[in-house]
């Protein structure tokens, strides 16, 4: 397999398409966003995301059957819009199609995969299935009109989303090693559930993040789970969730906006302290010079600020994607697929709901 730097180093949108790596139509439908993008290597030419947040907000969480139905309605217009925004009337001049193959909700994944299969059959283009979390890893590398694409360098990735909380050693594309994970809830899930307990809308992460900025993180003392054992790289958030519930049962619901903000800030501080401490510990143990935080929760302002401060103190490079690529999108799937193609991966798709990022299916020789 080649060690070609997969993301080319231009800093503006001027370069010739052929300088930039394979041109790919990428599709993502693993959860509650229907997304399509046109990418060339690590460069994004268009990225369209149709969010279903308003559909699921009424239920306080994702309803899988509704997610599938809305993907079905959105998938064709979203793909057409991504092609139009990239100035591509059709799929001529493309090298491949990429699609999220898992993990995710099976009914949701199948809508994107079947659309991708149809397009691949109609055009003869090769079809590459991409692991959703590998996509998030590549979200930190993307370039577009406003941003230079980054080269993938060895790093520690802290993967934080609605379904995942993991520490992963990334050596190069297709070379991933999970070194820590949550034993129970994912961190995004904890944000969403705590938000629901205190009457904030779904998804809870952005709502808690916004209120936390107005609150005192020392107002309430919530547990920092699994920090005591200096060897552990595992996470647990169910105890923290229970602590918030017990607090609400004993002290009652917040009686003012300030009390609500203090609760949000204190909960967020407990989450951030654990994430940052474990990431620091893992980075030091592996001797890596970079830490990337990716996934929906990487948008969290408290987490970004604390990681930036830790990077300064410990002397490592901290990187998080621009906010538009933190949540689910197809540009990251295209970026990962481009890297896989350059590295010699064979086209294939296998829909799955729970394979890890270091599954043999994802790893490259
Ligand atoms: O990566 P993502 O968009 O979808 C999954 O793959 O799960 O992550 C969604 C998660 C949700 O739990 C949402 O509440 C959380 O990311 N999230 C945040 C923030 N923005 C989104 N959590 C904390 N702070 C935020 N600003
Ligand atoms: Zn995601």
| Ligand 1 atom nearest residue 327's Cα | 3
Give yes or no: residues 87 and 35 share one domain: yes
Cα(120) to centroid(ligand 1), Å: 31
Grouping H, G, I as helix, E, B as strand and the rest as coil, residue 109 is: helix
Pocket test for ligand 1, best of 135, 136, 203, 212 (most atoms within 8 A of CB): 203
Cα(277) to centroid(ligand 1), Å: 20
Give yes or no: residues 137 and 159 share one domain: no
Give yes or no: residues 215 and 120 share one domain: no
Please say if the pLDDT value at position 76 is more than 70: yes
DSSP code string of 285-299: HHT-SEEEEESGGGG
- For residue 302, give the CATH number of its domain: 3.30.420.40
Give yes or no: residues 317 and 332 share one domain: no
Q: Quote the pLDDT of residue 18.
A: 53
Tokens of 238: 């169910």
Distance (Å, rounded) from C-alpha 138 to C-alpha 162? 18
Give yes or no: residues 123 and 270 share one domain: no
Cα(258) to centroid(ligand 2), Å: 31
Q: Quote the pLDDT of residue 307.
A: 98
| H helices present in the chain, as ranges | 53-57, 64-85, 106-123, 132-139, 187-197, 204-212, 238-251, 257-286, 301-314, 331-342
Task: Tell me what percent of the residues of the chain surpass a pLDDT of 90.
Answer: 92
User: At a CB cut-off of 8 Å and minimum separation 6, what does 36 contact?
Assistant: 25, 26, 27, 28, 48, 75, 78, 79, 81, 82, 83, 330
Mean pLDDT across the stretch 81-88? 96
Between the alpha carbon of residue 164 and those of residues 161, 294, 296, 308, the distances in Å are 5, 11, 10, 22
Mean pLDDT across the stretch 273-285? 98
Mind spelling out the 3-state secondary structure of 7-27?
CCCCCCCCCCHHHCCCEEEEE
Q: Which residues of 23-54 are buried (b: 16+ CB within 10 A; e: fewer)?
A: bbbbbbbbbbbbbbbbbbbbbbbbbbbbbbee
Does the residue 29 lie in any domain?
yes
Does the residue 89 lie in any domain?
yes
Q: Quote the pLDDT of residue 220.
A: 98
- Kindly report, residue by residue over 248-270, the tens digit of the pLDDT: 999 999 999 999 999 999 999 99
Q: Are strands 33-40 and 23-28 parallel, antiparallel or unpaired?
A: antiparallel
- Any idea how long the chain is? 365
- Kindly report, residue by residue over 113-165, the tens digit of the pLDDT: 999 999 999 999 999 999 999 999 999 999 999 999 999 999 999 999 999 99
CB 135 within 8 A of CB 28: yes
Mean pLDDT across the stretch 52-65? 92
Between the alpha carbon of residue 26 and those of residues 37, 115, 119, 138, the distances in Å are 5, 11, 11, 13
Cα(297) to centroid(ligand 1), Å: 4
Residue with token string 């989450």: 271
Cα(259) to centroid(ligand 1), Å: 24
Closest ligand to Cα 202: 1
- Kindly report, residue by residue over 285-302, the tens digit of the pLDDT: 999 999 999 999 999 999
| Ligand 1 atom nearest residue 191's Cα | 14
Pocket test for ligand 1, best of 67, 162, 293 (most atoms within 8 A of CB): 162
Range of the domain at 315: 155-321
Give yes or no: residues 307 and 159 share one domain: yes
Give, using CA atoms, the residue closest to atom 8 of ligand 1: 296
Does the residue 186 lie in any domain?
yes
Please say if the pLDDT value at position 11 is more than 80: no
Task: Tell me what percent of the residues of the chain surpass a pLDDT of 70.
Answer: 95
Give, using CA atoms, the residue closest to atom 7 of ligand 1: 162
When the pLDDT of each residue in the chain is averaged and rounded to a whole number, the result is: 94
Please say if the pLDDT value at position 16 is more than 70: no
Q: Quote the pLDDT of residue 137.
A: 98
Cα(328) to centroid(ligand 2), Å: 5
Does the residue 315 lie in any domain?
yes
Distance (Å, rounded) from C-alpha 4 to C-alpha 140? 18
Give yes or no: residues 164 and 87 share one domain: no
Give yes or no: residues 312 and 330 share one domain: no
- Which residues fall inside 5 Å of ion ligand 2, going by CB? 161, 328
Instruction: From 350, 335, 341, select the one nearest 125 (Cα to Cα).
Output: 341
Distance (Å, rounded) from C-alpha 160 to C-alpha 144? 23
């Amino acid at each position: 397999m080649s060690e070609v730097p997969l993301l080319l180093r231009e800093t503006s949108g001027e370069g010739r398409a052929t300088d930039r790596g394979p041109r790919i139509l990428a599709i993502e439908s693993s959860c509650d966003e229907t997304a399509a993008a046109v990418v060339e290597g690590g460069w994004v030419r268009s990225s369209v995301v149709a969010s279903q947040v308003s559909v699921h907000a009424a239920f306080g969480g994702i309803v899988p059957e509704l997610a599938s139905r809305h993907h079905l309605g959105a998938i064709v217009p979203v793909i057409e819009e991504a092609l139009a925004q990239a100035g591509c009337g059709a799929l001529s001049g493309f090298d491949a199609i990429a699609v999220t193959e898992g993990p995710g909700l099976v009914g949701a994944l199948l809508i994107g995969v079947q659309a991708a299969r149809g397009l691949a059959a109609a055009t003869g283009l090769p079809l590459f299935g991409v692991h959703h979390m590998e996509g998030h890893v590549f979200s930190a590398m993307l370039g577009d009109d406003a941003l230079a694409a980054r080269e993938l360098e060895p790093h520690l990735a802290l993967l934080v989303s609605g379904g995942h909380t993991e520490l992963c050693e990334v050596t190069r594309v297709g070379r991933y090693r999970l070194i820590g994970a949550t034993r129970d809830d994912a961190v995004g899930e904890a944000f969403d559930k705590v938000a629901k307990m205190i009457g904030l809308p779904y998804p809870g992460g952005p709502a808690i993040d916004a209120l936390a900025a107005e609150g005192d993180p020392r107002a309430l003392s919530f547990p920092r789970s699994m920090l005591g054992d200096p060897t552990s790289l595992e996470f647990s958030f169910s105890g923290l969730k229970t602590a918030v519930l017990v607090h609400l049962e004993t002290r009652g619901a917040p009686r003012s906006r300030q009390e609500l903000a203090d609760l949000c800030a204190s909960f967020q501080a407990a989450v951030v302290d654990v994430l940052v401490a474990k990431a620091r510990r893992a980075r030091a143990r592996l001797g890596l010079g970079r830490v990337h935080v990716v996934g929906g929760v990487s948008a969290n302002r408290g987490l970004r600020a604390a990681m930036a401060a830790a990077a300064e103190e410990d002397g490592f490079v901290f990187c998080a994607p621009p906010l538009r690529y933190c949540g689910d999108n197809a540009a990251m799937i295209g970026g990962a697929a481009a890297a896989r193609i350059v590295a010699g991966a064979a086209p294939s798709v296998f829909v799955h709901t729970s394979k890890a990022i270091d599954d043999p299916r994802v790893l490259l020789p």
